[in-house]
Amino acid sequence: MCCRPAVERAFAEMKASGAPDRHALEAALIIHRFHHPEVPFQDALTEVSRWTVGRLVH
């Protein structure tokens, strides 16, 4: 997806600023949802989790 670099950058920059994983993931998810509002929330969360933290979030 074309938004992957923006999603990964948002996550990395949030983490670099000292934000917890959850907040960084939420920021990355917001960017993904902005670019792809048609993707169901759970699918978006799964994809963003794979791109950023490398694991599924339950």
The 10s digit of each residue's pLDDT in 6-57 is: 999 999 999 999 999 999 999 999 999 999 999 999 999 999 999 998 754 4
Looking at residue 56, its pLDDT comes to 46
Among 51, 39, 47, 40, which residue's Cα sits nearest to residue 10? 51
How far is Cα 51 from Cα 7, in angstroms, rounded to an integer?
8
The residue ranges of every structural domain in the chain are 4-52
Looking at residue 1, its pLDDT comes to 57
Among 55, 11, 4, which residue's Cα sits nearest to residue 32? 4
Looking at residue 53, its pLDDT comes to 82
Selected residue with higher pLDDT from 2 and 6: 6
What's the half-sphere exposure (Cβ side, CA atoms, 13 Å) at 10?
A: 19
pTM of the model: 0.85
Q: How many residues does the chain have?
A: 58
